[in-house]
Chains A and B, each alone.
Chain A
């Protein structure tokens, strides 16, 4: 099988039919096929235990694949020890060597490569400047804040100019504001330096804002591999729809498909239109998914003849930039609608009865 990436460029990193089992009884990674193009920022996103970190560790060489082949630049690396792979890695807890200064930490990968002292110093200085930590070379890691340690860890992974950098939930220990700032920093650096990056996280916002492509992992498989916008707007199955962003779901049965519109009968008998994604046979159970911000209760904005549903307002939550309204729709009491806080926006009173609707393209009929 020739690997092609989501963006169509030739594969730089590829997993081919990779399986991994720790105990010989269960597979942690089941038949993984994945390609990452050169210069691409790929995020492995998934809940804990989904196999994403195991994949990263196999790529780094700390775990061996039970079956299948991992290739780097077209070369199989299954039997190459980690220190010969030349892959930069940023660890979850940074793993900065506590007994060395920042400069010594950065100098370490250059030293083991036998680089001369003068050149080492030059590269260390450049790497430190790159992460705006030029003044901290003499400090010990313990004397730095979490964000500073994060930058040093990043600089250390980049200082020996690897073509591939792996990051294992590198921002998990930072507070929200710092995390957002670092997300930007990391993507900027990755793109500036043209490095291929494989990034593991369980934070979907992080994945959406940083990545070129996102591989959503669950149960040892990639559920969907797509650019962030596609992943969010067009989830291919209900796991992805649930996992990425907020989602309203309604259970029903497929009545019929007309062109690219499916007629769904919800469990309480009402009919709605949806876009069929992975349902095809009438009578099939389906889970219909609608994003909270795509729900419309201003009938004037709906297409003529669109199906509408009756809803009861249960709760109105003021959140500053948006309003969050909880509705009871077709028996589902957790139906959320998000509206922008605009001057002309209606504030719904709890207890009032309204009618809601949406564009059929925003409503995706997925597997149940």
Chain B
């Protein structure tokens, strides 16, 4: 007889632990189930979850400053904004290189628009400087070519900055000139990168940019003026040993160039920039660049709740710039009011639906569903026709003599219009869950309550109503969440006083193109809904919500 009183985990007949055995038996089933939902899961992930996650990520993303002005951002670390003076020469020197490189790639305006969100007006400064910055490079280009004509040549630069291996491959490619063959990817010469860091960075960007546009080979392309600015700065600081370590065909040019640079007449980057636009001397502009130089920024979120970063940390925005908190608050209370109106109007209808004879209830149900078969725009426009000052309702009121013709009621393009139109539109979302819950409440409960001595009202309030609460919960949460994100109706009938936060999000997505702020507003909205959902779960209990 086998020992049945074993210790340790339960084991299957073949000795494997029962849990393993069970998991193995269920694995096929689980896999099959997963495969069944896989198409939808992938579809939702690819077309819905991923784009939304990416979009929301934009609310904190801020690489553009440090990517466009890497050297400037580094140099700015030493600057103290409290000194009340714009940064010194080194920062402007770095800016000169960064800005020219950016201007060559035409990305300086993008940065301008980005910073403009934080400091309105800064984008014009960037646009204007883009045109003038080239002159700095041209100045240095002139000085270098005066020293040696070879500097004007793209090949000189390629030989100096490119690695030997790359130069070899590049030469092969240039010789073959096959159609469609891509130029070998640029690889930097490591000693040159060590000795001339600014130049190497700029040249890498130059080479990539050239290869990306891909008309001519890198050595055949005219070097950017920015390279000369960078080279002048590098040579002024580079040690002779480091320069001597650089090899390659153009290595011989470096030592004379370094000597020439030492003999250059002094050049003030700061004066040049201030000469292009005197706003470069303003502390506030530099403060903005410094504050938003991080890879990630809370700036959009601060902006979304009417705050901003200041010299002394977070501060509220000026009175006339505060708008979002007001909008969030308005969205919340109007959505709640709309939900409440839906409940007030929908409850009796749902009750009728659940208690009428089937044939009558079906007709009523069609009436409830009718709005679903009509376009949202049509329904909203219909409300415009009804509610406007020369509209149907006003006409009737005037005709009845209830309203004076001169004082027609303003019922549209304000909060009233939004509430009326949205209550109408969201009503089915309240009625349907209510109805499906009410249908499951047997009439015998009401009868029982009455037979026990309860009046009609007590029977309803103590017995029927508590049992319909799951339906109220489902309807309310559905209506509220739909209302809080509603966009078209407030846009059309809300005027300025009846618009929601979603209208502002849409504005930033499609008009101001401040997607970061739109993402931050959207994230806050999402967070608020999730928070409310959590609170709702704590109070009502999500188990108590029934859709049928």
Q: Using a CB–CB distance below 8 Å, which chain A residues touch chain B? A: 60-62, 81-89, 91-93, 95, 97-99, 108-109, 112-113, 156-157, 160, 166
Contacts and interface: CB of A to CB of B under 8 A. Distances in A.
Interface in B439-488: 442, 444-445, 447-456, 458-459, 462-463, 466-467
Given A83-B451, A84-B453, 9 more contacts: A83-B452, A83-B459, A85-B451, A88-B451, A89-B448, A89-B451, A91-B447, A93-B442, A97-B448
B444 A95 contact: yes
A112 B461 CA distance: 12
Nearest to B448: A95
B458 A112 contact: yes
Interface of B: 442, 444-445, 447-456, 458-459, 462-463, 466-467
26 contacts: A60-B451, A81-B456, A82-B447, A82-B450, A82-B451, A83-B450, A83-B453, A83-B455, A83-B456, A85-B451, A89-B447, A89-B451, A92-B444, A93-B442, A93-B444, A95-B442, A95-B448, A97-B445, A97-B448, A99-B466, A109-B453, A109-B454, A112-B452, A112-B453, A112-B462, A166-B451
B453 A160 contact: yes
B467 A160 contact: no
Nearest to A98: B467
B355 to A, nearest CB: 14
Contacts of B452: 83, 88-89, 108-109, 112, 156-157, 160
A266 B445 CA distance: 54
A112 B445 CA distance: 15
Chain B at the A interface: mostly helix, strand, loop or mixed? helix
Given A93-B442, A97-B463, A108-B462, A62 B447 contact: yes
A82 to B, nearest CB: 4
Contacts of A160: 452-453
| Most chain A CB neighbours (cut-off 10 Å) among B442, B448, B450, B466 | B448
Contacts of B448: 89, 91, 95, 97
Contacts of B445: 95, 97
Given A99-B466, A99-B467, A108 B454 contact: yes
Contacts of A156: 452
B330 to A, nearest CB: 36
Contacts of A81: 450, 456
A160 B454 CA distance: 12
A101 B387 CA distance: 50
Nearest to B462: A108
B444 A108 contact: no
A87 B451 contact: yes
Nearest to B458: A112
A95 B453 contact: no
Contacts of B467: 97-99
A83 B445 CA distance: 13
Nearest to A166: B451
A319 B452 CA distance: 46
Contacts of B454: 83, 108-109, 112
| Most chain A CB neighbours (cut-off 10 Å) among B452, B453, B455, B462 | B452
A98 B454 CA distance: 17
A88 B449 CA distance: 10
B358 to A, nearest CB: 15
Contacts of B450: 61-62, 81-83
Nearest to B466: A99
Contacts of B462: 108, 112
Contacts of A98: 467
A80 B460 CA distance: 19
B466 to A, nearest CB: 5
Contacts of B447: 60, 62, 82, 89, 91, 95
A207 to B, nearest CB: 22
Contacts of A62: 447, 450
Contacts of B444: 91-93, 95
A140 to B, nearest CB: 13
A116 B451 CA distance: 20
A60 B451 CA distance: 7
A259 B510 CA distance: 107
